[in-house]
């Protein structure tokens, strides 16, 4: 996820060659709640091949089912937290803790979620250390940046999981069946919102045999829904929800009333 951004560090004032840059991957500090790791053995192998020195905090990927031995085989060096902070670039997924911030200096480049828009104090604390920081949650959600877009990747998974859980809760099949015992009609699924999560949900529900409908405030979603085999259901109200950059905008109260009425109806 970080490969492309790290390859460009020399353009951000870092005078070191790639071969002399050390990457440090920190273990997450919310155990059992956070099972992700900021590097996999596969990504570590790619960084090592490019010439980086890679330090991996011990047990970084245990909850992701990656052993320390796998990271070492990929070329990573299993390290302590103190050794990780001797790296030039330090990454993790969640926001830095107070202790981690206190270890940052102007020699560091920090990469993680930071959420500066809603957590200005945290952003200011990191800035005061002198370290260069990159908030992954602020990566523009465009095609060129998707390899670094942590929001889209997580929403893709959430849409998939929502359908799996819905199928588990529904006391019938998603797909239709014709057997000697009788006929079972396919389930009818309505997905509200055709963003990254919604499109992932449509794809899986359709593959499971359901009749899938999707509604969204944005007109541009219609083509995407239909390309996955879904049926687009527009809100019967003349107001566009298309905002800047493909995002939805805030809708009027009259639109919301029409939307609620539609959702309660039989479509």
Residues 133-179 have pLDDT tens digits of 999 998 887 777 777 778 888 889 999 999 999 999 999 899 988 88
pLDDT above 50: residue 44: yes
φ, ψ of residue 95 to 5 degrees: the values are -65, 150
Tell me, what's the pLDDT at 127? 94
How many CB atoms neighbour CB 254 within 10 A?
10
Work out the average pLDDT over 80-109: 96
pLDDT above 70: residue 5: no
Taking Cα atoms as reference points, which of 152, 263, 158 lies closest to residue 215?
263
Tell me, what's the pLDDT at 21? 93
Domains along the chain with CATH numbers:
3-138 (3.40.50.720), 158-264 (3.40.50.720)
β-sheet bridge partners, residue 214: 191, 232
Catalytic residues: 141, 146, 149, 152, 247
Q: How confident is the model at residue 12 (pLDDT cuts 50, 70, 90)?
A: very low
Work out the average pLDDT over 235-246: 81
Q: Is the distance from CB of 213 to CB of 233 less than 8 angstroms?
A: yes
State the DSSP code for 96: P
φ, ψ of residue 33 to 5 degrees: the values are -85, -30
Please tell me the distance from the alpha carbon of residue 59 to that of residue 69, in angstroms, as a whole number.
Answer: 10
Between 37 and 141, residue with greater pLDDT: 37
- Residue written as tokens 């998707």? 146
Alpha-carbon separation of residue 73 from 35, 66, 222 (angstroms): 22, 11, 47
Say how many Å lie between the first and final Cα of the chain, rounded: 41
Q: Is the distance from CB of 173 to CB of 187 less than 8 angstroms?
A: yes
Residue 38, burial from CB neighbour count under 10 angstroms (0-12, 13-18, 19+): buried
State the DSSP code for 229: T
Work out the average pLDDT over 72-86: 97
DSSP assignment string, 43-71: HHHHHHHHT-EEEEETTTTGGGT--HHHH
- In tens, the pLDDT along 190-215 reads 999 998 899 999 999 999 999 999 99
Work out the average pLDDT over 231-240: 90
């Amino acid at each position: 996820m970080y490969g492309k951004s790290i390859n460009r560090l020399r353009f951000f004032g870092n005078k070191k060659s790639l071969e002399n840059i050390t990457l440090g991957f920190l273990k997450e500090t919310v155990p059992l709640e956070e099972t992700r790791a900021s590097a996999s053995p596969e990504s570590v192998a790619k960084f090592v091949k490019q010439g980086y020195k890679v330090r991996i905090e011990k047990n970084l990927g245990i909850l992701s089912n990656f052993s320390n031995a796998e990271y070492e085989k990929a070329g990573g060096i299993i390290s302590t937290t103190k050794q990780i902070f001797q790296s030039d670039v330090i990454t993790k997924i969640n926001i830095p803790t107070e202790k981690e911030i206190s270890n940052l200096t102007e020699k560091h480049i920090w990469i993680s979620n930071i959420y500066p828009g809603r957590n200005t104090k945290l952003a200011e604390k990191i800035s005061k250390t002198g370290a260069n920081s990159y908030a992954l949650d602020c990566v523009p959600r465009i095609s060129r940046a998707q390899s670094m877009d942590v929001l889209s990747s997580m929403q893709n998974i959430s849409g998939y999981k929502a359908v799996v859980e819905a199928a588990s809760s529904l006391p019938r099949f998603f797909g239709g069946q014709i057997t000697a015992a009788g006929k079972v009609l396919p389930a009818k699924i309505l997905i509200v919102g055709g963003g990254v999560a919604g499109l992932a949900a449509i794809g899986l529900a359709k593959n499971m045999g359901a009749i899938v409908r999707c509604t969204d405030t944005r007109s541009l979603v219609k083509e995407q829904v239909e390309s996955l085999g879904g049926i687009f259901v527009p809100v019967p109200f003349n107001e566009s929800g298309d905002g800047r950059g493909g995002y939805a905008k805030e809708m009027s109260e009259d639109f919301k009333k029409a939307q609620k009425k539609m959702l309660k109806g039989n479509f």
